[in-house]
Amino acid sequence: MDRGTIRLEENVTQTLNPPAHMLIDGTWLPSVSGRTFSVEDPSVRGRVIAEVARGDGDDVERAVAAAAAAFRTWRKTTWTQRGRALIAIAEQLETSGEELARTLAGETGAAIRTQARPEIALTAEIFRYFGGLTSQLKGETTPLGEGMLSYTRREPWGVVAAIVPWNAPASLSAHKIAPAIAAGNTIVIKPSVEAPLTVLALARICQAHLPKGVVNVVTGSGADVGMPLASHPLVRKITFTGNTDTGKALLHVAADRIVPATLELGGKSPSLVYADSDDMRVVDGVIAAMRFTRQGQSCSAGSRLFLHQDIFGSFMSKLATRLSALKVGDPLDEATDIGSLANKRQFERVCSFLEDGIAQGARAVVGGMPPASGPLAAGYYALPTVLADVTPAWRVAREEVFGPVLVAIPWKDEDEVIRLANDTHYGLAAYIWSRDLGRALRAAHEIEAGWIQINQAGKVQPGHFFGGQKQSGLGREGSFEIMLENYTQRKNVTVNIEP
Name the residue nearer to ligand NAD (CB basis): 59 or 264: 264
The per-residue DSSP string of 105-148 comes to HHHH---IIIIIHHHHHHHHHHHHHHHTTGGG----EE---TTE
Q: Are 178 and 129 in contact (CB under 8 A)?
A: yes
Q: How far is the CB of 442 from ligand NAD (least distance, A)?
A: 26
Write out the binding residues for ligand NAD, residues 457-486 only, by CB under 6 A. Answer: 468, 473
Q: Phi and psi dihedrals of 416, rounded to 5? A: -65, -40
Counting contacts by CB under 6 A, is residue 243 touching ligand NAD?
Answer: yes
Contacting residue, 31, 173, 216, 241, with ligand NAD by CB under 6 A: 241
Write out the binding residues for ligand NAD, residues 385-404 only, by CB under 6 A. Answer: 400, 402
Contacting residue, 265, 307, 421, 483, with ligand NAD by CB under 6 A: 265
264 is catalytic: yes
Counting contacts by CB under 6 A, is residue 166 touching ligand NAD?
Answer: yes
Residue nearest to ligand NAD (CB): 226
Counting contacts by CB under 6 A, is residue 219 touching ligand NAD?
Answer: no
Least Cα distance to 367 among 403, 409, 330 occurs for 403
Counting contacts by CB under 6 A, is residue 19 touching ligand NAD?
Answer: no
Least Cα distance to 173 among 107, 242, 237 occurs for 242
Residues 488 and 188: their CA atoms lie apart, in Å, by 17
Q: Are 290 and 404 in contact (CB under 8 A)?
A: yes
Name the residue nearer to ligand NAD (CB basis): 37 or 402: 402
**DSSP letter (8 states) at residue 242:** S
What is the SS3 assignment for 361?
Answer: coil
Q: How far is the CB of 357 from ligand NAD (least distance, A)?
A: 19
Sheet holding 488-496, edge to edge: 141-142, 148-156, 488-496
Contacting residue, 103, 114, 115, 167, with ligand NAD by CB under 6 A: 167
Strand partners, 272: 306, 432
Counting contacts by CB under 6 A, is residue 198 touching ligand NAD?
Answer: no
Counting contacts by CB under 6 A, is residue 426 touching ligand NAD?
Answer: no
Which among 8-16, 217-225, 349-357, 408-416 is the span making contact with ligand NAD, rule CB under 6 A?
217-225
Name the residue nearer to ligand NAD (CB basis): 281 or 345: 345
Counting contacts by CB under 6 A, is residue 37 touching ligand NAD?
Answer: no
**Neighbour tally for 454: CB within 10 Å:** 16
Name the residue nearer to ligand NAD (CB basis): 134 or 300: 300
Least Cα distance to 362 among 326, 409, 324, 400 occurs for 409
Catalytic residue among 40, 125, 299, 400: 299
Which among 61-69, 144-152, 238-246, 384-392 is the span making contact with ligand NAD, rule CB under 6 A?
238-246
Which among 53-61, 185-193, 304-312, 313-321 is the span making contact with ligand NAD, rule CB under 6 A?
185-193
Counting contacts by CB under 6 A, is residue 450 touching ligand NAD?
Answer: no
**DSSP letter (8 states) at residue 337:** S
**DSSP letter (8 states) at residue 373:** S
Which among 209-217, 221-229, 326-334, 371-379 is the span making contact with ligand NAD, rule CB under 6 A?
221-229
Q: Phi and psi dihedrals of 345, rounded to 5? A: -60, -40
Kind plus residue range of the DSSP H or E element containing 153: strand 148-156
Q: How far is the CB of 224 from ligand NAD (least distance, A)?
A: 9
Contacting residue, 163, 183, 283, 328, with ligand NAD by CB under 6 A: 163
Contacting residue, 62, 176, 190, 237, with ligand NAD by CB under 6 A: 190
Q: Which residues contact 49 (CB under 8 A, 6 or more apart)?
A: 8, 12, 13, 14, 15, 16, 39, 40, 41, 106, 107, 197
Could you tell me whether strands 261-264 and 36-40 are parallel, antiparallel, or unpaired per DSSP bridges? unpaired
Strands (E), 342-413: 363-366, 385-388, 405-411
206 is catalytic: no
Upper half-sphere CA count for residue 111 (Cβ side, 13 Å): 23
Which among 104-112, 137-145, 197-205, 244-252 is the span making contact with ligand NAD, rule CB under 6 A?
244-252
Q: How far is the CB of 166 from ligand NAD (least distance, A)?
A: 5
Q: How far is the CB of 160 from ligand NAD (least distance, A)?
A: 15
Catalytic residue among 40, 107, 119, 264: 264
The type of residue at 56 is: D
Counting contacts by CB under 6 A, is residue 330 touching ligand NAD?
Answer: no
Interaction site with ligand NAD (CB under 6 A): 163-167, 172, 190-192, 221-223, 226-227, 230, 241-243, 246, 249-250, 264-267, 299, 400, 402, 428, 468, 473
Residues annotated as catalytic (active site), given as ranges: 264, 299
